[in-house]
A = this chain, B = another copy of it.
């Protein structure tokens, strides 16, 4: 009991990082307090103003990581809890992990962006849409054209643009429709005049889906959906809301929260990504366990194709109406049409939210804990497990401690490392978000504490948990900062059955080290990972990978080769092509490992029926340039053969 008390006092602040939140709003209700109206949004909505987005980098212009002295970085602005703080542990962490020197003298200045090639102009099309769109709904300048021609792929897109290398083909025009009627007319005009449309949501895509095909000679129009962001109908009795697809996650939650509701879809990109983009990429949110993934939250989406609207009707909770077109917008990645609106399930804001954190001596023990939670039937809104490297990253992005904090920190270290015998180089942390009624939350916290103990872990208190989730939102800013230092990095993810977690993570670790050596990378590559979702059949593994490109002839090419090979390793070890980032163009070479040839043929035939002129020529996932399926034999079937079956009577069966 004494130890438990000690833990309750000491551990909380250590896990996943220690920092003081300067200037934090008083009583913002985010730390387990009962809900006050408007007080529980997504955690990063500290500043409700939409802010100005940076042209190419991730996020808001006011927020950057930057050197404030040769060894210390700070976060600019006042948008996030970390803002204004110096982070003395960050540079040492990067140097230690990558085994290269890092300093302000190594920062590369962004190169000037060259003028874009003159746009392709389809005059009859332009004349026709002039009657539909006002001048304020159309942009033709170089900057908007370039912004709308890329997503947020760290290397293929951002790294290159910062070095003045622009894509071979960029969009020729950007339009901002304001109603479904305008979308219909735009699509009609595009088909009539043989113009290409590429839908654009928040611009946060990380699969190359927004890239224009290099050889597209037709006029390409980016359809930016940001002005279609209204809530059209809120039905409290049926717990649904009908929303235009261009709304950002942040705005959607703000509007719902005002009504005491939540949609519960909280991806890391929530500030910028849109409802339409979520559907088009099969997005997954942090609180999946409670609210579901996007396909669970969206009851129905309307997809406007050149050959009409695709949807089911009337609205209902579930139906059996033959093969359903309801699934078609999901994963369409801009290649089938424009998603204009969707019906979302909404739920009351939880009365209580608590965070939890748990430390384990090593990763395996953490996985045992996750499995036990899955099997308990209990569903904390979120549950994650970071590996040791990512656990230490959490610590690395914490501000300088006060004297008192460092005393506490040392005490905790002593307790964990000396008394409990944890190894700082091996220990890992799990973090949880728990939402519901007071009774539900109490019960879940009790069960989580018990299961973590049974798996050999220690409960780490709620503060650590909360901060663990906040670090998530810093990752993309860190990526952009390291990018300027010539350090290339990206996240990639996969879903994996429970029995493939070990094989996948260790194969990726091994292969990356090998690839670093083979490609002559200075120092060593960085790899951290977390399990970000649990399911009855397995998990989502979320990797962060990077290395220093200095000294390499073509760092971006090296990066591509390494990334490609790692994806291959993931697939070889039984992981999926992607858990929620999607296929886009960068994972297209592996598409034959995700769909059987018969499935690809069926999907392509469907696309041809919906869009015979290929207006939606973004050419993502199965809709890319046709590859010869003979050169891509499907992998062996996922079940045992009859011979294997016969050899293993334990598999059961009648005959």
Across the interface, A233 reaches (CB within 8 A) one of B259, B321, B330, B639, namely B639
Hey, what's the 0/1 contact readout for A107-151 against B, CB within 8 Å counting as 1?
000000000000000000000000000000000000000000000
Is A577 part of the binding interface, using a Cβ–Cβ cutoff of 8 Å? yes
A345 to B535: give the CA distance in the assembly, Å. 10
Is A71 part of the binding interface, using a Cβ–Cβ cutoff of 8 Å? no
A535 to B299: give the CA distance in the assembly, Å. 12
List residues 540-587 of chain A with CB under 8 A from any CB of chain B. Answer: 540, 571, 574-583
Is A483 part of the binding interface, using a Cβ–Cβ cutoff of 8 Å? no
Hey, what's the 0/1 contact readout for A590-617 against B, CB within 8 Å counting as 1?
0101111111111111101110000000
Is A70 part of the binding interface, using a Cβ–Cβ cutoff of 8 Å? no
A331 to B320: give the CA distance in the assembly, Å. 7
Is A621 part of the binding interface, using a Cβ–Cβ cutoff of 8 Å? yes
Is A312 part of the binding interface, using a Cβ–Cβ cutoff of 8 Å? yes
Across the interface, A645 reaches (CB within 8 A) one of B232, B577, B582, namely B232
Across the interface, A578 reaches (CB within 8 A) one of B231, B319, B332, namely B319
List residues 274-322 of chain A with CB under 8 A from any CB of chain B. Answer: 281-284, 293, 299-300, 305, 307-322
A-side interface residues, number (CB < 8 Å):
120
- Separation in Å of the A152 CB from the closest CB of chain B? 16
Is A27 part of the binding interface, using a Cβ–Cβ cutoff of 8 Å? no
Q: Which of A242, A535, A606 has the most CB of B within 10 A?
A: A606
- A204 CB contacts on chain B under 8 angstroms: none
Is A471 part of the binding interface, using a Cβ–Cβ cutoff of 8 Å? no
Asked if A535 and B318 sit within 8 Å, CB to CB, the answer is yes
Chain B residue nearest in CB terms to A327: B327
- A332 CB contacts on chain B under 8 angstroms: 322-323
Is A651 part of the binding interface, using a Cβ–Cβ cutoff of 8 Å? yes
Asked if B583 and A497 sit within 8 Å, CB to CB, the answer is no
- A345 CB contacts on chain B under 8 angstroms: 536-537
A347 to B332: give the CA distance in the assembly, Å. 32
Chain B residue nearest in CB terms to A256: B652
Is A219 part of the binding interface, using a Cβ–Cβ cutoff of 8 Å? no
Hey, what's the 0/1 contact readout for A318-359 against B, CB within 8 Å counting as 1?
111111110110111100100001010101100000000000
- A645 CB contacts on chain B under 8 angstroms: 230, 232-233
Asked if A582 and B323 sit within 8 Å, CB to CB, the answer is no
Hey, what's the 0/1 contact readout for A604-647 against B, CB within 8 Å counting as 1?
11101110000000001111000000000011011110100100
Across the interface, A498 reaches (CB within 8 A) one of B238, B282, B375, namely B238
- A438 CB contacts on chain B under 8 angstroms: none
- Separation in Å of the A403 CB from the closest CB of chain B? 45
- Separation in Å of the A502 CB from the closest CB of chain B? 11
Is A539 part of the binding interface, using a Cβ–Cβ cutoff of 8 Å? yes
- Nearest 10 pairs of A and B residues by beta carbon: A322-B621, A308-B598, A605-B609, A325-B599, A230-B653, A317-B535, A282-B320, A317-B537, A317-B538, A319-B576
